[in-house]
A and B are shown apart, each in its own frame.
Chain A
Amino acid sequence: MDFFLNRFPAYLDGALITLTVTVLGSALAFVLAMVVGIVGTLRNPAARAVATVYTEAFRGVAALVLLFWFAYAVPQITPYELSPMFAGVLALGLNVGAYGAEVVRAAINAVPRAQTEATIALNMSWGRRMWLVLLPQAWAQMLPTFGNLIIELMKASAIVSLINVADLTDVAGNMRQTTGETVLAYGSAMVMYFAIAQLLIVGMRTLERRANRRLGRAPARGGLRDLLRPPTPGTKVGTAK
C-alpha cells in the first residue's frame, strides 16, 4: 500500500495520459464509425465499396502495426513527423473505427423494414428518415457493442508506451526499473486500468439505459446489479481488438 501511495501522483499522470488517448481515440473512432457505417447502408455500390475497403483493411491490420507505421514509416516518406501521442490516437481511432462502422451498419440494417416503409409513406427525405427514425432506433442497439469497443480501445492504448508516450504502462515500466518491485509496479497499473474500465462500463450502461428509455423500452432491471452485468460477447459483428 505504501508503495502505491508514495507513487500515486506518477501513476495518476500516467492514467491521465491513458484516459486522454482513450477519449481522443474513441472520438475519432466514433466519427469514423458513424460516417463509414452510414455510407455502408447506401444503395450506391461505389460508396458501399469504399466503406467495405476501409472496414476490411483497418480491421485486418493490428493496431500496433498501424502505430509503428505512423510513427516510423510516415516520417520516412513524408516531411512530417507525427507526435507519438497523435500517432497513437490515429492508429487506435482508425482500427476501432473500422469495427464500429460494422456495428453501425448492422444496427441500421436491423431496424425493421416496416419503419423504412412508413417513412416512405410519409414522404420523408433520406436525411430526415435517417436522423429521425433509423438512427434513434439503431442507436440503442449500437451502444452495448460500443461499450465493449471503448474498453478494447482503452486496453489497446497501452501500445503507445512502446513509442515512448508516458502512459500508465510506461509509468509502470519505469517504476519497475527504479524500484525492482515487479509485482507492485505492474500490479498498481493493472488495478488502475481495471478501475478505468469499470468507470467506462458504468458510463456506457447509463447511456444505454437513457437510450432505451427514450425508445419507451423499460430498462432491463436497472440498479446496481444491471450496471455490473457481464458484457454481451460475440455480438454478430464480432468484438474488436
Chain B
Amino acid sequence: MAMGTGFLESIAQIWRSRDLLRELVARELKVRYRRSVLGFAWSLITPIYQIVFYTLILKYILHVQENDLGIKILCGIIPWTFFSVGVTNSCSAVLRYRNVVKKVAFPRHMLPLATVGANLVHLVLSTLVLFVVFLAIPVVFDETFLYLIPLTLGQTLLVAGLSFIVCCAHTYYQDVEYVLGNLLQVGMFLTPVLYPASKLDLVAPVYRTLFMLNPMAVYTEGWRNILLRHAQEFPEPVFVAAAVAVSVAVFIVGLAVWRRYEWRFPEVI
C-alpha cells in the first residue's frame, strides 16, 4: 500500500483486498453474535418488539384501520435497520481496531466497509426470516422480488459513503455516535418506515415529492412495494434515478473525505 495513491486506486484496493474484507466481516459477525447465547436470533429481537409495540399502539389504541399492519411495518423496518445500524456501527469501526491500526499498515477503508458488509449479511438473514413469515401468510413469490437486489446495491453505496464520513468524524470526536443516534431518530420519521408515502399525498402532494427526494424514502418504499404489491405503485423512475444518483455521489464524497483524513488515524487514536 503505497502512500499517496489515487482515488481510483482506493476503489481498486477494495477489490484486491476482498480476502481481508471477507475476514473482517466474518470477525465482525462472530464478535457481535458470540457474546450472546442466542446469537443471531438475539439480533432479531429488536425488530420483533418494534413490530409488536407499533402494532399494539397503532391498531388497538389508535384504531388505525389497516390490514396486515405488522407485516407492512416489518417490510419498512428491514431496509431502515440496514441503514441506521450500518451507519451507527461504522462510527467506531476504526476505534474498535485501534490496536491493529496503530501497528499494521493495511487499506484502512476496509474497516467501515466491513461493518457495512456485516450489516448487509444481517439484512440478507433478516430477509430470509421475513420470507419464512411470508410462507405462513401466504404471500406469492414472483420475479419482481429480484428488484430487491439492485435496490439493495444502491442502498449499500449510500450506507458505505455515509459510513466513511461518520467513521472519520467519530475517530476524531468520540461523541458523534450519540449525535448520530438522535439524527437517525428524526430521520426515521422523515422516512416512510411506519407509514406509506402515499399517505403524504393526503396531507399535500408537495410533501410526498419532498420526502421522496430522500434516497432512503425511495429504498424503503421500494422494498415495501416489491414485497407486498409486487412492485406495483413502485416509486416513480425519476425518484429512483435521483436516489441512485445521490447514493453514488454520497459514496464518492464519503471516500474522498476518508482519503483526506484517514492518514492521521494512527497518530490521533
The finding on whether chains A and B are genuine partners in a shared complex, rather than unrelated, reads: no
By a beta-carbon cutoff of 8 Å, the part of chain B in contact with chain A is none
By a beta-carbon cutoff of 8 Å, the part of chain A in contact with chain B is none
